[in-house]
Amino acid sequence: DSGVTQTPKHLITATGQRVTLRCSPRSGDLSVYWYQQSLDQGLQFLIHYYNGEERAKGNILERFSAQQFPDLHSELNLSSLELGDSALYFCASSPRPSTDTQYFGPGTRLTVL
């Protein structure tokens, strides 16, 4: 158990819908990272927040957005969903911006029908 929690574990929705994925980082961690894992694209970095502020963006679609709240939990919002958005979405956290201390959560499996 990494100490990072993600909800929900599974999510099934329809094309065109909007969903919110939630991440609670490990106690004391100020950095939160979101990754997408799909069969065709592999594991890809989406976005990084540190203490409420966006620090870096990866290949994140404009239909996707994220935020980190004062209590440090983070949400990833996916809108106008397409079939190709079906994937595992992972959140990771670290005490501060880091490459070697990112602890990954168990992921949310999103299925778009």
Partner 1 sequence: GQQLNQSPQSMFIQEGEDVSMNCTSSSIFNTWLWYKQDPGEGPVLLIALYKAGELTSNGRLTAQFGITRKDSFLNISASIPSDVGIYFCAVASNDYKLSFGAGTTVTVRA
Residues that bind partner 1 (CB under 8 A): 2, 4, 31, 33, 35, 41-45, 48, 55-56, 58, 90, 92, 97-102, 104-107
Q: How far apart are CA 93 and CA 79, in angstroms?
A: 24
Closest separation in Å from C-beta 16 to partner 1: 27
Closest separation in Å from C-beta 109 to partner 1: 9
Closest separation in Å from C-beta 55 to partner 1: 7
Identify residue 7 by its one-letter amino acid code: T
Q: Which CB sits closer to partner 1, 79 or 88?
A: 88
Closest separation in Å from C-beta 37 to partner 1: 9
Q: Which CB sits closer to partner 1, 75 or 104?
A: 104
Identify residue 77 by its one-letter amino acid code: N
Q: How far is the first Cα of the chain from the last one, in angstroms, to the nearest whole number?
A: 31
Q: Which CB sits closer to partner 1, 42 or 70?
A: 42
Question: CB 76: neighbour CB atoms within 10 A?
Answer: 24
Bridge partners of 21, per DSSP, are 76
Q: Which CB sits closer to partner 1, 19 or 49?
A: 49
Bridge partners of 2, per DSSP, are none
